[in-house]
Homo-oligomer: A and B are copies of this chain.
C-alpha cells in the first residue's frame, strides 16, 4: 500500500523546489553519474546492471537503461547481454571524458550556436553576449575535458561512499 504525502498534492510546487540545477539536462546528469559509477566498478573488474546503476545514482532504472543504450551506441561505455552481462569500460574507453558524455546525451547545444538563439549571430555580427559566452564555453569545455572519466572515478571515494556521493 502506497503511502501518500501532502506534497503529492502539489506536484508543480515540489518540482520547482527540486529543480535547483541546470546547465546539463537531468538526463545528462544521470548519464554522468552512471558513467562514473560504471568506471568505478570497472576499476574493480565488475560489470554492473542497469537496475543496480539506477539505484546507486538515484535515477529510475528503466530510464537509466535508455540512457545507457545511447551511451553504448556512442561508444562511451560497453555492454554485454545475458547472465554475467552488464555495463563496463575497458582500455578502449580510458580516454573518454565528460565532454563525450554530454555530447552523446545533450548534443552540442552547450558548445555551439548563439546562447540567445539568434539567427544572425556570428563573429562579424555578434549578439550582446557573443564573446562573453565564447569565454564561458572555453571554461566549460576545459572543465569537461581536463580529466578522463577514469581519473574522475578514481577520485570518488571508496565503495561504501559511492552511493552518498552519486545520489
Contact = CB atoms under 8 A, between A and B. Distances in A.
Interface of A: 19-24, 26, 29, 32-33, 36, 58, 98, 106-110, 112-120, 125, 127-129, 132-133, 135-136, 139-140, 142-143, 146-147, 152, 155-156, 164-167
A165 B23 contact: no
A23 to B, nearest CB: 5
A156 B119 CA distance: 15
B120 A167 contact: yes
Given A19-B109, A24-B115, A125-B165, 19 more contacts: A20-B107, A20-B108, A20-B113, A21-B109, A22-B109, A22-B110, A22-B115, A23-B110, A23-B133, A29-B115, A29-B116, A29-B117, A33-B116, A36-B128, A120-B167, A128-B152, A136-B136, A136-B139, A136-B140
A138 to B, nearest CB: 9
Nearest to A119: B167
A160 B165 CA distance: 53
Contacts of A110: 22-23
Contact of A165 (B21, B120, B152): B120
A115 B19 CA distance: 11
Chain B CB count within 10 A is highest, among A109, A112, A136, for A136
A37 B125 CA distance: 17
A118 B135 CA distance: 27
